Amino acid sequence: MIGDFSDLIGRIALGDRKAFAALYNRTSPKLLAICLRILGNRNEAEEVLQEVYIKIWQRAGAFTAGSATSAAWLAAIARNQSIDTMRARKPIADEIDSVLDLADADPDPETQVVIRDEGRRIDTCMEELEADRAVAVKRAYVEGQSYQELADQFGVPLNTMRTWLRRSLLKLRECMER
């Protein structure tokens, strides 16, 4: 999906259906691959891809060429839509359990205790962060929201949000190393 699609996105924002078709033809294989990698199911990935292009059509006017590359913007929409779909599938706890099951089909009791302890340590360390920073970290790294989305939600500039997240991750690392 290497390339700049800013011109096509700009034309889509004006309602140009030919530009939309051209964008679809040039980007759909890569965006489908992103959806498939996250969801692990081709039929579901294809359905999500349709939703991705609906969002692209609806949000083309919000794309700002200077803020991100067009390819990154498109990939972020696919990634976020896939994560939203995965989250809606079943509770997050079930997802976490299935990931752990894939990592180790039958963890021994000692491993289970270590996993639970690590989870408690992470929770404890998250409590040491300022409340808004902890929420931002959770939304960015658990829920998959973009830095720009978070900056908009918290009413801060994009670079401020990047600083918040970077400093929060450093604090979490320090806490986890204790």
Predicted confidence (pLDDT) per residue in 113-134, tens digit: 666 767 677 778 888 888 888 8
Helices 147-154 and 158-177, axial angle in degrees (round to 10): 100
Percent of the chain with pLDDT over 90: 27
* Per-residue pLDDT, 62: 86
* Per-residue pLDDT, 26: 93
More confident site: 52 or 119? 52
Is the model's pLDDT at 91 over the cut of 80? no
* Per-residue pLDDT, 48: 94
Least confident of 31-40, 97-106, 147-156, 159-168: 97-106
Mean pLDDT of all residues in 11-15: 91
Q: What DSSP string describes 52-92?
A: HHHHHHHHGGG--TTTS-HHHHHHHHHHHHHHHHHHHHS-H
* Per-residue pLDDT, 129: 86
| Helix residue ranges, H only, the chain | 6-13, 17-39, 42-59, 70-89, 92-103, 109-128, 131-141, 147-154, 158-177
| Domains annotated on the chain, with CATH | 1-89 (1.10.1740.10), 91-178 (1.10.10.10)
Least confident of 9-18, 84-93, 118-127, 153-162: 84-93
Least confident of 4-8, 16-20, 77-81, 95-99: 95-99
Is the model's pLDDT at 102 over the cut of 60? no
